Amino acid sequence: MIPDLRNILYLPVFLVLLTFGKIQAQDTTLEPVNPPIPERVKVNNIFIIGNIKTQKSIILRELDFTTDFYYDWENFLEILQADQQKIYNLRLFTEVEITPLFTGDEEIEILISVKERWYVVPSVIFQLADRNFSEWWTNQGRDFSRVNYGLKINHDNVGGRNEKLRFSGQLGFTKGLDLVYTKPYIDKKQKQGLAIQLTYADQRTLPIRSSDNKQVFYTNENEDVLRKVFATALRYTYRRTFYNFHFATLGYNRTWINPEVLRENPNYIQGEDNNLRYLFLQYSFRHDRRDNIAYATTGELLQFTATKYGIFNTQDINEVELNIVANKYLQLSEKFHFASGLTGVWFLSRNQPYTLVRGIGYSPNFIRGYELNVIEGQQLYVHKNSLRYKLLDLSFDISRYMPLDQFSTIPFKFYLSGNFDHGTVTDRNNLPENARLTNRYLVGYGIGLDIVGVYDSVLRFEYSLNNQGTGNLFFNFRAPF
């Protein structure tokens, strides 16, 4: 019997379809399969790459987890994100990335990848001696004799232990030498640290008082030195937890004043002669949980400081200063964040030597729109606010032209900001020459452009107005708070 021709033709087609079906079934086995999210994980090992100079212990100090211990997975991801920010805020690295690698259903390895900064930075000092750029440009008539110049050398990671050595020699408007050495950890548990500072400076032009809420400078006919300052301090640091720091500082200050200055302002210093000598003791507590200490977008900063000027011999000075800073940074969306900062300063006595005068206009206390003014007194309150929008986030790879890996990438972030500041200064002496702005409610507001660049450097361009009806364009080199 001859087979039906149609059956003969169907057979190859059936075999092809059968074969294709097998191939398709085999292909589905090669599709990626998402493993189930574990409820908990255990860290077996921690690996660090990229730390050519930095010791491993400095990085491990910032970790809030350990090996051979189980963690809830969702909580562990939050720990990794916080630890990544802490390592970055050491300011030793341009890039930090922490990656969990699964080796089992509930077991992982941790890979920490860092890219080190350039630690030894010699630089030329060329900076204005005035309080800010606007003060120099407007009030001082762009006088280039009011410029400091010299040489500065910073080593930000001595021995790979996050120790910092800073030296500067300065000429120009203010001549001086400054030496600072900071050792963050002196014990095996890495909780205690020490720092020492030596400073010398002299000036031939000196602000001796304020009038109409502006500084009044004095220079004698022979351009003699009017003030010499020698200061030294030893600071002890205790880092109890990751975000809480305690500081205790013991220091000595000696200030010599040219007698001509005292004839111009008899209250420039207190005491019987033209020397101001005193020991001071300072305690400070800082809680710092900012994502980026140079330009924060999330987190908070709380700091309280108490300083006693004059300890044993209180004839020259006997003063207590209290200072509080409370800043909050809120991420509203991917593009928007809001920053708010409150500062308060109190002197307990009625009069201070002019060398200790505080107020709005002296760094870091200012109200935008009043950068050209100094408002001096014994108490001040400042509340600064900024709503910021991330306009651009750029990164340029210049490795083809730059042989140094630490500078091979140039990042830029641009933020538009809407600003509103307000505050007041209390002058218990009610000096009539400064009555226009002291003991009054002050308001400043405006818009700005903030640029965050290489190594978290900050440039700010702002146009601000105040409640006195004046406005101006201001330029600054650091974040407002």
Q: Give 302-321 pLDDT, tens digit per residue.
A: 999 999 999 988 888 999 99
Which strand (E) or helix (H) includes residue 74? helix 73-88
Is residue 415 one of the residues assigned to a domain? no
Is residue 430 one of the residues assigned to a domain? no
Query: Whole-angstrom Cα distance, residue 271 to residue 262?
Result: 11
pLDDT of residue 382: 97
Query: Whole-angstrom Cα distance, residue 282 to residue 457?
Result: 29
Is residue 405 one of the residues assigned to a domain? no
Q: How many domains does the chain have?
A: 2
30 Cα distance to chain centroid:
50
Q: Is 76 helix (H, G, I), strand (E, B) or coil?
A: helix
**Are residue 208 and residue 72 in the same domain, yes or no?**
no
- Would you give the DSSP letter of residue 398? -
Question: What spatial distance separates the first Cα and last Cα of the chain, rounded to whole Å?
Answer: 98
Domain boundary among 382, 413, 429: 382
**Are residue 147 and residue 232 in the same domain, yes or no?**
yes
**Are residue 219 and residue 276 in the same domain, yes or no?**
yes
**Are residue 138 and residue 53 in the same domain, yes or no?**
no
**Are residue 74 and residue 198 in the same domain, yes or no?**
no
**Are residue 142 and residue 63 in the same domain, yes or no?**
no
- Would you give the DSSP letter of residue 433? G
Looking at the DSSP assignment, which residues form a beta bridge with residue 251?
A: 233, 280
Q: Is 375 helix (H, G, I), strand (E, B) or coil?
A: strand
Domain boundary among 347, 382, 417: 382
3-state SS record for 402-433: CCCHHHCEEEEEEEEEEEEEEEEEECCCCCHH
> Smallest Cα–Cα separation from 224: which of 177, 256, 265?
256
**Are residue 225 and residue 349 in the same domain, yes or no?**
yes
Query: Whole-angstrom Cα distance, residue 131 to residue 446?
Result: 20
**Are residue 147 and residue 112 in the same domain, yes or no?**
no
Q: Give 194-251 pLDDT, tens digit per residue.
A: 999 999 998 888 889 999 999 888 888 877 889 999 999 999 999 989 999 999 999 9
**Are residue 111 and residue 137 in the same domain, yes or no?**
no
pLDDT of residue 290: 96
Is residue 413 one of the residues assigned to a domain? no
> Smallest Cα–Cα separation from 136: which of 227, 205, 224?
205
Q: What is the CATH number of the domain that holds 112?
A: 3.10.20.310
Range of the domain at 179: 120-382
pLDDT of residue 260: 92
Please say whether the beta carbons of 424 and 441 come within 8 A: yes
Looking at the DSSP assignment, which residues form a beta bridge with residue 304?
A: 285, 324
Is residue 407 one of the residues assigned to a domain? no
Altogether, the residues listed in the chain come to a count of 481
**Are residue 227 and residue 316 in the same domain, yes or no?**
yes
> Smallest Cα–Cα separation from 234: which of 194, 185, 277?
194
CA distances to 3, 106, 358 from 102, rounded to whole Å, are 60, 8, 56
What would the DSSP string read from start to end of 332-347? -SSSEEEEEEEEEEEE
Is residue 4 one of the residues assigned to a domain? no
Instruction: Tell me the average confidence (pLDDT) per consecutive run of 10 residues in the chain, 481 residues long.
Output: 41 38 40 69 96 96 95 95 96 95 93 94 70 69 72 91 92 84 95 97 88 89 88 97 97 94 88 88 97 95 97 88 97 97 93 86 90 92 97 88 79 96 93 93 96 90 93 86 90
pLDDT of residue 35: 61
**Are residue 102 and residue 245 in the same domain, yes or no?**
no
pLDDT of residue 435: 92
Domain boundary among 349, 365, 382: 382
CA distances to 204, 316, 360, 377 from 354, rounded to whole Å, are 17, 13, 15, 11
Q: pTM of the predicted model, to two decimals?
A: 0.83
Amino acid identity, position 150 = G
- Specify burial of residue 46 (Cβ count, 10 A radius: 0-12, 13-18, 19+): middle
Is residue 443 one of the residues assigned to a domain? no
pLDDT of residue 222: 79
pLDDT of residue 126: 67
pLDDT of residue 49: 97
Q: What is the CATH number of the domain that holds 336?
A: 2.40.160.50
Are β-strands 40-49 and 107-116 bridged in parallel, bridged antiparallel, or unpaired? parallel
**Are residue 208 and residue 192 in the same domain, yes or no?**
yes
Query: Whole-angstrom Cα distance, residue 406 to residue 119?
Result: 9
Q: What are phi and psi of 25, to 5 degrees?
A: -65, -40
Is residue 33 one of the residues assigned to a domain? no
Please say whether the beta carbons of 147 and 129 come within 8 A: yes
